């Protein structure tokens, strides 16, 4: 049991409660999270208002529309989160918000709201890195101990990282072009499937023949564990071009072949990423929206079973963007000795996890 978990299990009676806000992309979310000793008691509420229906006609997120929608619903979402948790702004101990990375308009809505609530109610404020929220989510769900190897795959991000402790992260590899989720979205558009592309492709791939179309796995001879999805996307476009009067079975076969190729590419690089770790951890975790893909979860779980590793993946709701992971990251940082942020902390559309270190987040510029 690591030091944070020892603190949580020490029997102390004071439970820290955090109101958190997440608005980095197209989900407006607020949650109340506490440092209960067991995972079942940590999430007191987690309200998520999705904008999928709003952006579906565009085939992707339109930043300006997303920001306006965040503004329209943020107050209601925060109020609902507090009500479901049976808490008030007076009873929570800290207010946290995603400061980056993400879409600047959405980040500003969440940050301004959180800062205003903190100032008006005399509460400390903490700016949280969105990626750190994802990478610490397995500890929210399962008490995963440090160190662990992380596969983070989402609509906007893809990386392998060795997680040594709170604020101590080393990126081992990343995408050189598209994120995995972005590749799923683009292929889904090629096939005329609904946005977001990941769930749509996963659904029809179950009825497809994954061996019908030939693909080359990218970067097999390249040293390291960087990945590339652009070639797989281009190959898919060429396969679709060979089809005349494309039917539902054609779409299912393309989806299955594409999905298998992406997962094979990821799992091969996951093995290389493990070889690059310093601590040779026994815990392998996946996080992010693409971590909800059933086939990917099964493939990584199989590797862990073969190698006698412990495998963890958040619940499907906690794979997508949500405020509970932001609140938990704030609690982890508090327990690790990090100080609250200053109210002049800035939003950061780009904020690599390598820039989250042992310095306080009040130094955000």
- CA 244/CA 261 separation, integer angstroms: 23
Q: What is the pLDDT of residue 4?
A: 54
Q: For residue 344, what are the contacts with CB-CB under 8 A and spacing of at least 6?
A: none
Could you tell me which residues come within 8 angstroms of residue 263 by beta carbon, excluding any fewer than 6 positions away?
A: 293, 295, 296, 299
User: pLDDT over 70 for what percent of the chain?
Assistant: 94
Query: Which pLDDT does position 3 carry in this prediction?
Result: 54
Structure confidence at residue 356 as a pLDDT band (50, 70, 90): confident
pLDDT at 16: 93
**DSSP secondary-structure letter at 311?**
E
Annotate 230-254 with b (16+ C-beta within 10 A) or e (fewer): ebbbebbeebbeeeeeeeeebbbbb
Give 1's pLDDT tier (boundaries 50, 70, 90). Answer: very low
Q: How far apart are the first and last CA of the chain?
A: 35
pLDDT tens across 3-51, in order? 555 555 444 445 799 999 999 999 999 999 999 989 999 999 999 999 9
Cis peptide upstream of residue 306 (ω within 30 degrees of 0)? no
pLDDT at 347 over 60: yes
Burial of 327 (0-12, 13-18, 19+ CB in 10 A): buried
The reported pLDDT for the residue numbered 57 is 83
Which positions ≥6 away from 112 have C-beta within 8 Å? none
Q: Which helix (H) or strand (E) holds 168?
A: strand 168-174
The confidence score (pLDDT) of residue 7 equals: 52
Which domains does the chain carry? Answer: 3-136+318-363 (3.30.420.40), 146-314 (3.30.420.40)
Q: What tokens were used for 193?
A: 């499937």
Instruction: Tell me the average pLDDT across 115-130.
Output: 97
Give the pLDDT confidence score for residue 155 in this predicted structure: 87
Give the model's pLDDT for residue 6. Answer: 54
**Mean pLDDT for the chain overall:** 93
Q: In the structure encoding, which two tokens stand for residue 15, read together?
A: 């439970």
Span 312-326, average pLDDT: 95
| Average pLDDT, integer, range 328-342 | 95
Contact 23, 109 (CB under 8 A): yes
* pLDDT tens per residue across span 266-311: 999 999 999 999 999 999 999 999 999 999 999 999 999 999 999 9
Q: Give the DSSP letter of residue 289.
A: G
- In the beta sheet, which residues pair with residue 34? 17
Residue 358 confidence (pLDDT): 40
Confidence of residue 357 (pLDDT cuts 50, 70, 90): low
pLDDT for 170 beyond 70: yes
Share of the chain above pLDDT 90, in %: 88
pLDDT digits (tens, 9 = 90+) for 41-84: 999 999 999 998 889 888 889 989 999 999 999 999 999 999 99
pTM of whole model > 0.85? Answer: yes
Mean local confidence (pLDDT), 337-350: 94
């Amino acid at each position: 049991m690591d030091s944070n978990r020892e603190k949580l299990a020490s029997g102390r009676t004071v439970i820290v409660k955090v109101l958190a806000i997440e608005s980095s992309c197209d989900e407006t979310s607020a949650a109340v999270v506490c440092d209960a000793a067991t995972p079942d008691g940590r999430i007191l509420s987690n309200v998520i208002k999705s904008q999928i229906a709003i952006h579906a006609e565009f085939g992707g997120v339109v930043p300006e529309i997303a920001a306006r929608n965040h503004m329209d619903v943020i107050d209601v979402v925060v109020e609902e989160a507090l009500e479901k948790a049976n808490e008030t702004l007076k009873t929570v101990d800290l207010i946290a918000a995603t400061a980056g990375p993400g879409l600047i308009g959405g980040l500003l809505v969440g940050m301004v709201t959180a800062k205003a609530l903190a100032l008006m109610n005399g509460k400390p404020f903490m700016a949280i890195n969105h990626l750190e929220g994802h990478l610490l989510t397995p500890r929210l769900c399962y008490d995963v101990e440090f160190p662990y190897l992380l596969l983070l795959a989402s609509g906007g991000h893809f990386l392998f990282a060795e997680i040594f402790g709170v604020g101590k992260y080393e990126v081992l590899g990343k995408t050189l072009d598209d994120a995995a989720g972005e590749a799923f979205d683009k292929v889904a558009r090629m096939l005329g499937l609904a946005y977001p592309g990941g769930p749509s492709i996963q659904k029809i791939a179950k009825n497809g023949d994954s061996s019908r179309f030939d693909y080359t796995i990218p970067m097999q001879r390249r040293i390291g564990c960087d990945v590339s999805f652009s070639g797989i996307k281009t190959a898919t476009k060429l396969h679709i071009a060979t089809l005349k009067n494309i039917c539902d079975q054609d779409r299912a076969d393309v989806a299955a072949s594409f999905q298998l190729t992406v997962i094979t590419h990821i799992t091969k690089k996951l093995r290389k990423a493990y070889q690059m770790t310093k601590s040779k951890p026994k815990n392998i975790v996946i996080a992010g929206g693409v971590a909800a893909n059933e086939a990917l979860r099964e493939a990584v779980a199989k590797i862990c079973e073969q190698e006698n590793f412990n495998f963890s993946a958040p619940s499907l709701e906690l794979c997508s963007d949500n405020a509970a992971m932001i609140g938990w990251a704030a609690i982890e940082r508090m327990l690790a000795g990090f100080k609250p942020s200053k109210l002049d902390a800035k939003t950061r559309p780009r904020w690599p996890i390598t820039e989250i270190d042992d310095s306080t987040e009040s130094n955000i510029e």
